[in-house]
Structure 1
Amino acid sequence: MAEYSMGGDRGIVGLRGQGGRAVRNGQRARLRRWRLGARLSGAVMTVLLQMISRAVAIMPLKPALRLGRALGWMLGRVVRYRRPEVIAALRSAFPDLAASDVRRIADEMYKQQGMNLIEMLRLSVLGVVDLQGRVVVEGGGHLEGALRGGRGAIILTAHVGNWDMLGVLANQRGYRVTIITKGVKNEALNRFWSTSRERLGLKLVPARESYRACLRALRRNHLVGFILDQNMTEREGVFVDFFGRPACTTPGLAYMSAHSGAPVVPVFSIRRSLSEHMILVLPPIEPVRDKNDENIRNAT
């Protein structure tokens, strides 16, 4: 119990001081409980993800992928995760499409994401053996030719097909791969996803720390993966035409190519059937010589 004097401000100040300490102690205790809860929930999530990964890994491939399609459909139709944004983006990109076609494309996108998730969870357990006989590469000679210059190559890709699989396949074929990643907000999920990728041989570099690390990788004649179809703030990006509309994206890829002399090789993953993929490698794009703003924007 606090002791205080009735005589003047001294007692009041003493009471306030003890009350302030009590409040601070209470706040620290709540913070410790919150941190403990976050660690426990993160540990539980990690165990659950590991269990789910093992479960889908022991399932036959096609039933597992059909499960992924069903989960993706539920995410889009039942949970409706970001569905209004997806529909709005599709209507903007394809203004002449009927509403039913827009909904159909949106549904298929969610199903594709569900299959991508299942494939990556299986890969985290089974490794690249799970992809054997399911992937055809077209244009692989373009990548080999780009690396002959000794300056590495920047892989330009987008959120098409199973883009996460590209780095895994490249590593399996003997290429050293550095991936620029933005990470996931949930710490446990981000740690699980990062660990799974690194176990498959990929080197992950946080986007904010990526430039110098990527230049070092290119100097060693390695590959650097870059997903370009991501929105940026007006202060950080440049505006380019995308589906007939101005869109803001990062000029980092064009700057990195110009700075390092590394060519840019467009590579895309295309799902050909439920379980089969085609990797399409396009001819290299040579770096711009003059790094002025207009050239960088055009290269982007």
Structure 2
Amino acid sequence: MTSGATRLFLTAWTAAEKLPEGAVRGVMHVAAELAWLRRGAGVRRLEDNLARARPGVSRTDLRRLSRRGMRTYLRYYGEAFRLGALTPEQVTARVRLENPGFVTEQTRAGRSVVLALAHQGNWDLAGAWATTHLAPVTTVAEHLEPAEVFDRFVALRERLGMRIIPLDADRRVFSDLVRTVRGGGAVIPLLADRDLTARGLEVAFLGERARVAAGPAALAAATGAPLVPVTLRHERLHGARRRAAGSRWGLLVRFHPPVTPGAGDRAAQVQHMTQQWVDALAADIVEDPTHWHMLQRVFVADLDPDRLTRVSP
């Protein structure tokens, strides 16, 4: 992102916090349509990824899917820009839970839970809700460039009550997470559907091989905390809930059953748990792929062969 684009991005963010939600949504909808029509590298990559969830789909239908996907992707940014302006009551009204019983029982008992998430829906809204209604949230943030944009996202999440650990090479991120889990009463949601560290695991995903982050399963295996897959998607709001939310869109947070470590040594357990949460994610994506905002390379067939050679054991 150039310095000019950075200034424009941050200016738009500041303006969005002061504008009516409908106006922000309208602008982001237009931005999504323009990005989709331009069919740049991100849109083409999104289509390549969506094709794995819809094998054999026609080119026309794939374009329809990517158009809806870009709308939900830019909706996330519009919502993130305004998240700091929402009241706690609006945050609560926008979030609906499915199968939260296990996680709620764990946090009420003072135990920590590790959550494996993907780039779906609005994970920042989910984090804001969880830190108020479940337990204090600690998570890891990918270090974005430029630094001004990264700092703005970190400041937003911290203002909403989340503790953010930057994913920097010189930080002992995993040790920090282990201490947090062992301290009890914490929720650790980790976005893990993309390998950012070149130390990820290869798994079966949507009929192909893909590389995802080992972090959620490794943390659960190291601490004994349960690992729960969570999937997110936007949903239309109506009636009293729409009025309370101040929005036509809300968020469905679906908690899946906790995964099991399986047999074998620590490495085998981490691999087994990772495959289980990826299976839960894959089933959700197949059901409706347009909530998966993945505009980067995930599948082994798309990755740089030289990079794979460098990171292979």
What is the TM-score of this pair, normalised by structure 2? 0.74
For residue 95 of structure 1, give the secondary structure of its aligned residue in structure 2.
coil
The one of 225, 228, 241 equivalent to 2:189 is: 225
CA distance in 2, matches of 1:264, 1:51: 36
Q: Which residue of 1 aligns with 2:112?
A: 152
Q: Which residue of 1 aligns with 2:96?
A: 136
| 1:103 Cα deviation from its structure 2 partner | 0.6
Q: Which residue of 2 aligns with 1:263?
A: 226
1:245 aligned partner, one-letter code: E
The one of 249, 264, 272 equivalent to 1:275 is: 249
For residue 209 of structure 2, give the secondary structure of its aligned residue in structure 1.
strand
2:193 aligned partner, one-letter code: D
| Root mean square deviation, CA, Å | 2.6
Identity %: 21
Say whether 1:246 aligns with 2:220.
no
For residue 121 of structure 2, give the secondary structure of its aligned residue in structure 1.
coil
For residue 258 of structure 2, give the secondary structure of its aligned residue in structure 1.
coil
**Residues 134 and 295 (structure 1 numbering): CA distance in 2 closer, same or farther, change over 3 Å?**
closer
Cα distance per residue 1:227-274 (max 9 Å; x no partner): 1211357x5122100101011122222121111010012222221224
For residue 93 of structure 2, give the secondary structure of its aligned residue in structure 1.
coil
Which has the larger Rg? 1
Cα distance per residue 1:131-161 (max 9 Å; x no partner): 3433221222221223366541101111121
Cα distance per residue 1:29-85 (max 9 Å; x no partner): xxxxxxxx96xx6994586145323233xx1x3443233222222223237351221
1:297 aligned partner, one-letter code: Q
My pick for the range that moved more, 135-144 or 239-248, is 135-144
Q: Which residue of 2 aligns with 1:17?
A: none
* Structure 2 residue ranges without an equivalent (≥5): 237-247, 275-313
* Structure 1 residue ranges without an equivalent (≥5): 1-36
My pick for the range that moved more, 123-132 or 138-147, is 123-132
The one of 131, 139, 152 equivalent to 1:179 is: 139
| 1:95 Cα deviation from its structure 2 partner | 2.6
1:268 aligned partner, one-letter code: T
CA distance in 2, matches of 1:286, 1:146: 16
Q: Which residue of 2 aligns with 1:48?
A: 11
**Residues 83 and 42 (structure 1 numbering): CA distance in 2 closer, same or farther, change over 3 Å?**
closer
| C-alpha contact (below 8 Å) 1:45/1:188 kept by paired residues | no
**Residues 71 and 128 (structure 1 numbering): CA distance in 2 closer, same or farther, change over 3 Å?**
farther
Q: Which residue of 2 aligns with 1:23?
A: none
Mapping for residues 1-300 of structure 1, pairs under 5 Å? 44=7, 48-56=11-19, 59=20, 61-78=21-38, 80=40, 82-147=42-107, 150-208=110-168, 209=171, 210-221=173-184, 222-231=186-195, 236-273=199-236, 274-287=248-261, 290-300=264-274
| 1:89 Cα deviation from its structure 2 partner | 2.2
Length, aligned pairs only: 258
1:194 aligned partner, one-letter code: V
CA distance in 2, matches of 1:168, 1:119: 12
